[in-house]
Each structure stands twice: as C-alpha cells, then as structure tokens.
Chains A and B, each alone.
Chain A
Amino acid sequence: MVDFALQPNSVPETRAKRKRASLRTALKRKSTAAFLMTLPLILLISIMVIYPAFYSLHLATLNKSMQRFVGFGNFEFLFKRETFWLVVKQSCIFAITAVVFKALIGFIVAHFVHNIPVKGQRKWRGMLLVPWVIPPAMSTLAWLWLFDPSYSAFNYTLSFFGIGPIPWTGDASWARFSVILVNIWYGAPFFMIMYLASLKSVPEQLYEAAAIDGANWWQRIWYVTLPMMRNIIAITTLFSLIVTFANFDIVRILTSGGPLDHTHIFATWAFRVGIEGGDIPLGASVSLFMFPILAIAAVFILRDINKRGNEA
C-alpha cells in the first residue's frame, strides 16, 4: 500500500492541479446558480421598490406638469400651507395614540387569554383575531355604517342611556376619535397574538421562582414578564408604528380626510393631492415625509435583528 502511493508521486500532482481548477469552476457555478435563483427577487426589489423610492425623490423636485425642475419649491409650498401642518400633527397623533392603545389592549388581552385554561384559549384567540383577518377596506365599511349620521347603531344604543346622538364622523374631534378607534380595533389583535406567542415562551419556572421569592402578580409582570418580552414588545411596536403611520384604507373610507381635512394623514393627503388633485410631484413630496420615521424605525429593528443574529 505505502510504496504504491509513493512511487507515482508526480502523476497525481499534475492531475490534482488540473482537477483543482475544475473544482473552482464548479464552486463558481454553484454561486452563479444561487445568484440566478435570487435574480427575480433582486430585479423585483430594484425595479419596483428601490427605483420608485428614488424616483419619488426626483418627482418631488418637479412642478405640477412635471416639465420643470423646481428644487425645493414643492416643500416650500407645503411649509406655507396650514393644511400640511395639520396633516403632520394628525399623522403623529393618529399613529402614536393608536399604537399605544393597540399595544396596551393587546398586552392586557394577551394576559387574559394566557390566564384561562389552555383548553379554551384557542377558541378565544380565534374570536379575538377576527378583526385582523377581515380586509380593512371591508371592515371599515361596517364601521362607517355603524357611525352613519342618521342610522348609527351606536347612537341607537346610546340613546337608551340618554347619550348622543354623537357625530361620529361629522365633528373634527369625534372623527379623529373614530378613525383611531377603528385602527385600534383592527390592529390590537396583532399585538395580542404576538404577545401571546411570547408569553408562552416565558418558562413557567421563572414565575414559580418569582412566586417563591414572594412576588405578587404585579411584580411578576414587572420583573419577569416585561423583561422577557422586551424584544417582542419593541419590534411589534415599531412594526405597528410604521404600518399605522402609513395607513391609508381606514381614513380614506371612514372620513376621506374630512371634515375639513381634520383627519387627513400623510397617505390620504398624498392621494388627495397626487391622484385626485393631479399634482403628482406635490403628492410625492407629501409622502416623502413618511420616510424619516420609517428610517428611524428600520434602524432600531435592524439593530434588534443583528443583536439576535449574534446571540444565535
């Protein structure tokens, strides 16, 4: 055996060199195949997402007929308009209030579901997630009908308690309330499901240890549950902040931004100005204001992902 391998020493040497080159091409072929498999994805993202994102930057610098470069003209125009500042204010109020309440309600409901015997949890979870499943355009129509100025089923019910009639979508403050309420109704189940999943992943022993250490239920939530769920709470809130900030369907269908632009948020106003008003550059400028909040949220989410990647 041994001398067999020693004597034709030079032959395998040259053969090996040639073969090694062919292995390199094989490896190259593998990474080419991998690249080709991701090519549709890359094309889709670059043509339909990245390009339009930059294109909207370009659009924002044109005049209404899109023939003349106006630099920051559109932004200057926006800053001078009262409606714009109204939209900024409303977007922030809308997003922050809705997300805070969605998170709170989601957390509370998740706890209640977690609290009851496992046997029944599926049923309750199933019912509580229904708002998230119905396409928001469809469910908002139901809310619109529930808020109807003359036939509102809510006002009918409240009239028995001597309340109302409430101008759900007619009065600026009430309209803002209604829009946020519908958004909470639609989004809270998402938080509930996320929190529930992460509640289930908290080891039971931690609660038992805390109970032995003499923690009451509030201390158990504060010292065990919340720290364990911190990551999920953060990432879900950021997700929701993005989605809520960019919301279109609910406001569009419920109030169309009215009364008197008092419920417009960035997306609906950009639609009003850009599509209905025919001023695409101005609309693009409006929607660009969503970008900073997205970027900030994205940075936080990315940091979280990287952190988790390192842990794993």
Chain B
Amino acid sequence: MADVTLRKVIKRYDDVEAVRGIDLDIADHEFVVLVGPSGCGKSTTLRMIAGLEDITDGDIMIGGDVVNDVPPKDRDIAMVFQNYALYPHMTVAENMSFGLRLKHYPKAEIKSRVTEAARMLDITDLIDRKPKQLSGGQRQRVAMGRAIVRNPKVFLFDEPLSNLDAKLRVQMRIEIKKVHQKVRTTTVYVTHDQVEAMTLADRVVVMNHGRIEQIGTPNELYHHPATRFVAGFIGSPAMNFIPCRLEEAGGSLNIRLTDRIAFPLPPARAARYQTVPRNEKLLLGLRPEHITEAKQHKEPGVENFDTVLDVTEPMGMETLIYFMLEEVEVCGRVNPNAGARDGGPLRLAVDLNNMHLLNEGTGVVL
C-alpha cells in the first residue's frame, strides 16, 4: 500500500509531446481514474507509473521513493491490460501465480493466495482452465486475480472493460469496485468512458492534450467543471453551450441568448458575474436536465420560453428533446407526458440556478 506522486512528468516521443508536465498526488487506498479522449496521454501516464515507458522529465514516486529508473518488476505494482494479456499456454492458476513463481515464493503460500483471490473473484471452478476456454468476463476476472495475488502497492488498470459488451461492463464495474473495497489497494484506472470514471473513482483526473484539465471528486467535476472541456466531457448527454451576452437591464443583469430570448439572472448569479465585461462573447453552459418542460408554478431562477422541437427521443423514463437556438442545437430532458413530439411546439423552462458561464475564447468557467 502506498501513495503515488507525479511531479512535472513529461513524456516526449521524438518531437511529439504526449504528456506535458503532470502533477498528481494519489493518496494511499485511493481509487483515481484518469479519463480523457484517446490520445490525451492518460495511457502513457499510466504506463510511466508502471515503468513500461521511461519518463522524459520529472519524477514519479511510489510510497515516497523516486522510481523514475526502477524497472517495473521492482516497483511492486500490478497491471490489468485492455486485452487482459493472459498467458495463453498457462492455466488460470498458473497465470495468476506466474509472478509469485518467478519470485520463488513458497508453494503453499502461492497456493493459498491463488485460492483466496479465486474465491474473491468467484473463479474457483475455472482454476484449471486455459484462457481460451474462458468468456470475456471470466478472462477479466483472471486478469484481476493475477494482480491481486501479487498484493502490490498499486493497481494499474488500462481500459480494462473496453473489450466487454455493455451489459458485462456494468457488471464488471461493480466487481472492480467491490474488489477495491475489500483489498483497499491504491488504484490508478485509465478509461475513456466518463460513466466508468464517475462510477468508480474517489477522484477523477480529466486529461486533454497531455495536460490535466481538472482533478476532483465525480460530483465536483459534474457540478463545478473548471473548463469547457471538462464540462462537455463529463455527463451524458453532454452539456449544451449556447452563445450569449450579458446586458444591464435596469439594475439587474440579463443574459441574452438570441435577439428574441433573454433571461434575468438569479440574484446570486448576478452578483457573481458582476465583474464580467459586458458584450464579451460568452457561452451559457446548461446541462440537458436543466432544460425541462415549463411547470405550473414558477420557481425563482427558472425562466420559461417557447420553442419548436426538431427531434424527440423517447427513452422511457424521460424524453430527450432537440431544438435549435440560432445556429446551435440544444438538448433538453422532459417528462414523457409533457407532450413533446417531432416538429411540435413546446414551452420549456431553463433552470438558471444551475447554469455555468464560460469565456468563449479561453474556455474557462467563470
């Protein structure tokens, strides 16, 4: 068990900078998920922690020791790969015990650890099978078992669920969470799937273009994104970004979306945005769940407006609606009984208490 620290870590391939200076502190027992689009440097970061890639500059510390030049086997880490990387010629038990056998652990010790891990993962019956005879989910469990028996300081997961079908992915996600609750090993988990990141992580690290965009708990990231990238990446369907301007309107502050539509800001928000220069190009960030059908009684900060829908997507418990504001397509979530239909008119309500205001040029949330 150990904490992991990255200090100004840089990875350069020839002339491409894959990772551009990362600072990250992962506490003992913590489950941290690195998430971002492909090519954002998350996998490279993980592989540098593992020691599979050397670092160009900076320091990586595991348990307080700088491990920059420590080979992977001496870092006391275990890794689960996307394609499981099970040794095809070994049985499940042999796969799991390979690392221990290389380190010449006593036979009895190996056996008890494998048995224990197999029981934890519910693969006791499969222990003598070869990987070829296993299903995807079972292989995934074996790969995890191989990591668990080593009892390492740190678990590293590299997109472990992306080869599974959607249903199994949900199941294994829960499985991984359960295992972490039992063994409490510090875990670094890489994924491109924000749902996985949100559901698994104690803290999520959102990466983009080799840099960290934001670090925070899933709720922090969802409710208080720091940048447009994070705001757009976390949450599905994604947050709407609507071009807007602030205007003075007789002592209060209005937000103008189109020539036709402008809303007064709620007092708390108005105070917060007082210093924002007027007439600067801004973006209104609104999550789809904050654009709903208009209610009977008007709540403070909730403003109504009329629009004509383009497309509706009934999901059962809710209906997703899409409509155009000027040139921008906006998504909202309404009650299935709200009477939304393709091409039909609908009166909508926007909840400005949960709005975000972004600088269009810098992408920073104000």
Does A22 sit within 8 A of B, measured CB to CB?
yes
Q: Mark B66-92, 1 if CB is under 8 A from A, else 0.
A: 101101000000000000000000000
Chain A interface mostly: helix
Does A15 sit within 8 A of B, measured CB to CB?
yes
Does B308 sit within 8 A of A, measured CB to CB?
no
Q: How many Å from the CB of A9 to the closest CB on chain B? A: 9
By the criterion CB–CB under 8 Å, are B27 and A23 in contact?
A: no
Q: Which residue of A lies closest to B64 (CB)?
A: A4
By the criterion CB–CB under 8 Å, are A16 and B54 in contact?
A: no
Partner of A12, one of B27, B54, B59, B71: B59
Partner of B25, one of A5, A15, A22, A23: A5
Partner of A5, one of B7, B54, B71: B7
By the criterion CB–CB under 8 Å, are A27 and B54 in contact?
A: yes
Partner of A26, one of B5, B57, B69: B69
Give the contacts of B277-315 with A (CB-CB under 8 A): none
Q: Enumerate chain B residues within 8 angstroms of A19, measured Cβ to Cβ.
A: 66, 68-69
By the criterion CB–CB under 8 Å, are B25 and A20 in contact?
A: no
Q: How many A residues, CB 8 Å from partner?
A: 12
Q: How many Å from the CB of A274 to the closest CB on chain B? A: 49
Q: Which residue of B lies closest to A13 (CB)?
A: B59
Q: Which residue of A lies closest to B59 (CB)?
A: A12
Partner of B69, one of A1, A2, A12, A23: A23
Q: Which residue of A lies closest to B54 (CB)?
A: A23
Give the contacts of B41-77 with A (CB-CB under 8 A): 54, 57-59, 66, 68-69, 71
Q: How many Å from the CB of A35 to the closest CB on chain B? A: 20
By the criterion CB–CB under 8 Å, are B25 and A16 in contact?
A: no
By the criterion CB–CB under 8 Å, are B69 and A22 in contact?
A: yes
Partner of A20, one of B7, B69, B71: B69
Q: Enumerate chain A residues within 8 angstroms of B71, measured Cβ to Cβ.
A: 26
Q: A1-B27, A5-B25, A23-B54 are known contacts. Are A16 and B5 too (CB-CB below 8 A)?
A: no
Q: Enumerate chain A residues within 8 angstroms of B59, measured Cβ to Cβ.
A: 12, 16
Partner of B66, one of A1, A12, A26, A27: A12
Q: How many Å from the CB of B5 to the closest CB on chain A? A: 6
Chain B interface mostly: strand
Q: How many Å from the CB of A20 to the closest CB on chain B? A: 7
Q: Enumerate chain B residues within 8 angstroms of A26, measured Cβ to Cβ.
A: 69, 71
Q: A1-B5, A5-B5, A23-B54 are known contacts. Are A15 and B27 too (CB-CB below 8 A)?
A: no
CA–CA, A121 to B58, complex, Å?
62
Give the contacts of A5-61 with B (CB-CB under 8 A): 5, 12, 15-16, 19-20, 22-23, 26-27
Q: A1-B5, A5-B7, A5-B25 are known contacts. Are A15 and B66 too (CB-CB below 8 A)?
A: yes
Q: Enumerate chain B residues within 8 angstroms of A22, measured Cβ to Cβ.
A: 69
Q: How many Å from the CB of B202 to the closest CB on chain A? A: 14
By the criterion CB–CB under 8 Å, are A2 and B25 in contact?
A: yes
Q: Which residue of B lies closest to A11 (CB)?
A: B66
Partner of A23, one of B5, B7, B58, B68: B68
Q: Mark B218-239, 1 if CB is under 8 A from A, else 0.
A: 0000000000000000000000
Q: Enumerate chain B residues within 8 angstroms of A16, measured Cβ to Cβ.
A: 57-59, 66, 68
Q: A1-B27, A2-B25 are known contacts. Are A20 and B5 too (CB-CB below 8 A)?
A: no
Q: Enumerate chain A residues within 8 angstroms of B66, measured Cβ to Cβ.
A: 12, 15-16, 19
CA–CA, A35 to B73, complex, Å?
24
Q: How many Å from the CB of B6 to the closest CB on chain A? A: 9
Q: Which residue of A lies closest to B23 (CB)?
A: A5
Q: How many Å from the CB of A52 to the closest CB on chain B? A: 40
CA–CA, A12 to B69, complex, Å?
13
Q: How many Å from the CB of B168 to the closest CB on chain A? A: 28
Q: Which residue of B lies closest to A19 (CB)?
A: B69
Q: Mark B1-41, 1 if CB is under 8 A from A, else 0.
A: 00101010000000000000001010100000000000000
Q: Enumerate chain B residues within 8 angstroms of A27, measured Cβ to Cβ.
A: 54
CA–CA, A95 to B54, complex, Å?
54
Q: How many Å from the CB of A196 to the closest CB on chain B? A: 26
Give the contacts of B119-137 with A (CB-CB under 8 A): none
Q: How many Å from the CB of B71 to the closest CB on chain A? A: 8
CA–CA, A295 to B71, complex, Å?
46
| 16 chain-A/chain-B pairs, Cβ below 8 angstroms | A1-B3, A1-B5, A1-B27, A5-B7, A5-B23, A12-B59, A15-B66, A16-B68, A19-B66, A19-B68, A20-B69, A22-B69, A23-B54, A23-B69, A26-B69, A26-B71
Top-5 shortest CB links A-B: A19-B69, A1-B25, A23-B69, A12-B59, A19-B68
Residues of A within 8 A of B (CB): 1-2, 5, 12, 15-16, 19-20, 22-23, 26-27
Extra 8 A-B pairs, beta carbons < 8 Å, given A1-B5, A23-B54: A1-B3, A12-B7, A12-B59, A16-B66, A19-B69, A20-B69, A23-B68, A26-B69
